[in-house]
Structure 1
């Protein structure tokens, strides 16, 4: 469904109808980051899935004229021409932009071609002026609100997922870490509350219990709360703890997976964590404490690639542990700092010299450490660049 040049991000759109035409309209609106509410007694399978995952808000009753007062755009897709015409007329009275989606049965849905408006494929935009004071509506989800755990990716703004962007556009509150695409916060509407709970090495600004309470309090106030994390919420991001806190409190919660730095940052530096004929497995550890026995064995035997996140502070201890356990000091290793950002830099060296090379280069956190033969797997054709685009390693 074409929506011409309307700016829909964050704006409240009412879709009247629950059939396939309404589902197509809703999907197109979501592609433009609209805040979609559906009014229909029953939903087709596609719309029901959108409602189940929280991407649209469904009220199980027919739309009435008064519902148009709280929306910016109306899509009439009930499948009944008289009902659709009544909604279009109500939109015209309120000077709301309106679309009439074509029905799925001959003669069903959509307004007739002789009515005001012009064809846009499966929808028609009425030639109405925009409301004099358009503003994105707050995306409320009912008395209990909801929490959405969004993985923001390794740092580059364009590595957040499309679904993650959609939830940001619908957020009333964003609870953000210091890692991930923090630049996106500067472009949020002024109405959005941003709560900084970022943790830095050696200084935890907000405890996990306090973060959980922030999420629950805002959601209980009827708000859509986006918990924006770096990487993926369930990989060392304590997303599981926050999920459980919401479930136990009876607060609706959903997870949006993210691009994990454990896989993406090495890739951007020209290091595949697995490579045919070199390594068929990868083991990911956090570096705050001692390496596990499985991690040490993976490096000593060469059975799998070892990836360590948050391991800069303990890098010398980790390397000493591996060497003391019998790891070959010539094992290829790498450290990639500030992955996916314009500041990305990397060092590759034999394991026995990794600490000295990192210190010489002045690299620090945030960083990803990779140990294993895969570090040299693409060396003859490794890409070069500043780390700001696909395939660039910034070394």
Structure 2
């Protein structure tokens, strides 16, 4: 039986602005003793944890990162001292954030764990584009996939393309050329595609294109990490929405000139 009064909260910080946090997340931060801050989380989040010791444990692909084993040791160490540790993770903690490894480590040590869900960057990207990832006119689902497998290989892109779902691809910018080429073996070149960088933040950038132009257009526009790549017919709804907005703006301008 665990008699330790300490605990760990795996907290989803969302993709960007603080107003995307849940109320539960804000409450957990307010009473945190220690905050382990992910590199992709908005650094301003520490303002919501006034009494906490803040330790930055950055993890970002292609950059020098804090070892995962060290992060897990920190969580166990402070929780075993009876402290409330809040592990702040960008986006949704349970999606591509190594939460499974952390949960296993903490449970093995007999430490209580709470999970606070949040908004994933894939959903924030869709919101920025003004689309539904599961528009029933175009698909029957959405597949969230990371471009990096545990053995540093790549997913089975042909199998993913065969699902005919919207693909929300995380951590794929360094492999955007190879993944686009692999998908083109199974999908037509005119398949709508998009890249959304820094989704859900004031720095958000969006690129709408076709699968055959995805890598070249992203490179020409200077898109990089962190970004979500979206592929599928549902993405085309964003193009239609933009055309509608442009047409409405033209109509308004024409009306103003006539007046």
Report the TM-score range of the alignment, normalised by the length of the smaller protein: 0.7 to 0.9
- Is 1:340 aligned to 2:180, yes or no? no
Q: Which residue of 1 aligns with 2:84?
A: 224
Aligned-partner SS, 2:124: helix
For 1:140-195, what per-residue CA distance to the aligned partner results, in whole angstroms no more than 9, with x for missing partners? xx843000101111111111111011000010000010113321114532x31111
Q: SS of the residue aligned with 1:314?
A: helix
Q: Equivalences for 1:204-223 in 2 at 5 Å?
A: 204-223=64-83
Unaligned runs of 5+ in 1: 1-141, 385-395
Shift of 1:221: 0.8
Tell me, in whole angstroms, the C-alpha distance in 1 between the residues paired with 2:76 and 2:160: 40
1:284-306 residue CA offsets vs partner (Å, 9 max, x unmatched): 1112255423x43343x462111
Matched, 1:177 2:38: yes
Relative to the length of structure 2, the TM-score reads: 0.86
Aligned residue in 1 for 2:175 = 314
| Aligned mates of 1:281, 1:338 — CA distance in 2 | 24
Asked if the contact 2:133/2:166 (under 8 Å) is kept, the reply is yes
Alignment of 1:34-53 (within 5 A): none
Instruction: Quote the Cα distance in structure 2 between the aligned partners of 1:221 and 1:185.
Output: 22
Cα separation, partners in 2 of 1:224 and 1:355, compared to 1, 3 Å: same
CA distance in 2, matches of 1:221, 1:349: 52
Task: Determine helix, strand or coil for the equivalent of 1:348.
Answer: strand
Quote the Cα distance in structure 1 between the aligned partners of 2:33 and 2:109: 20
SS in 2 for 1:377: helix
For 1:326 and 1:239, how far apart are their aligned partners in 2? 32
In 1, distance between residues paired with 2:159 and 2:144? 13
Q: Compute the TM-score of the two structures, normalised by the length of structure 1.
A: 0.58
Match of 1:329 among 186, 189, 197: 189
| Alignment-derived partner of residue 356 in structure 1 | 216
Structure with more helix by fraction = 2
Relative contact order, CA 8 A, sep 6+: which one is greater? 2
The one-character-per-residue Cα deviations of 1:57-83 (angstroms, maximum 9, x if unpaired) are xxxxxxxxxxxxxxxxxxxxxxxxxxx
Unaligned runs of 5+ in 2: 246-259
Kindly tell me the number of residue pairs found equivalent between the two proteins: 239
Is 1:260 aligned to residue 123 of structure 2? no
Structure 2 counterpart of 1:42: none
User: Quick one: which of 163, 167, 183 aligns to 2:28?
Assistant: 167
- Give, in whole Å, the separation in 2 of the partners of 1:188 and 1:222: 18
* Distance apart, 1:329 and its partner CA: 1.1
C-alpha displacement at 1:265, in angstroms?
A: 1.8
CA distance 1:170–1:291, shift in 2 (3 Å):
same
Larger radius of gyration, structure 1 or 2?
Answer: 1
Structure 1 runs (4+) deviating above 4 angstroms are none
RMSD: 1.8
In 1, are the aligned partners of 2:158 and 2:186 still within 8 Å (CA)?
no
- Name the residue aligned to 1:246: 106
Query: Per-residue CA shift, 1:336-380, capped at 9, x if unaligned?
Result: 001111111111111111111111111111000000001112422
